[in-house]
Amino acid sequence: MKNLIFLFLLVSLNSYSQEKEKIIFLFENDRDTVINSQSDNIYMIEGKHTFKFINGKHEKVEVNFNSVKEHLVTYKEFLKKNKSKKYPELFSNYVFYILIKEKNSSACLIQVEKVWLVEDKMVD
C-alpha cells in the first residue's frame, strides 16, 4: 500500500513539474490586427499567424512593459528554435501570450492559443 501511494505521488509530481514554456509575442498596432467578438478575439501577428483569446478561459493581466520586454520573441525566432520539432504538434508544448504596449510603461499581457484560419474560417 505504501508503495502504491509513493508511486502515485511520484507520478503526480512528475506531471506537475513539466510546466509548459511561456512564449510572448509583441502586438504592434501598425502591422498586426485584432478581430473582436463578444466571447473571443483573434490576434493576427505579422499578417499571417493567428491566435485566439477566449473570454473566461484565458487571462488578461496588466504588467510593466519593461519587466517583460526581455522575454519577447518574434514568430521567426520561435520557429527557428523549434525547427527540429514536428509541426503543428509543437504548439502543445507552449503557453502563448500577446503583449500589447499601452501608454507610459504599462502593457496588457493576454493569454492566447494558436488557431489556423483558412479563408477567414477557423480550423481545429
Reported as a single tens digit per residue, the pLDDT across 34-62 is 988 777 899 999 888 999 998 888 989 99
Q: Which residue has the cell 499601452?
A: 102
Q: Are 64 and 106 in contact (CB under 8 A)?
A: yes
Q: Is 60 exposed, middle or buried (0-12, 13-18, 19+ CB in 10 A)?
A: middle
Could you tell me the pTM of the whole model? 0.77
The answer to whether the Cα torsion of 29, 32, 36, 42 is positive or negative is negative
> Above pLDDT 70, what percent of the chain?
79
Output the pLDDT for position 116: 81
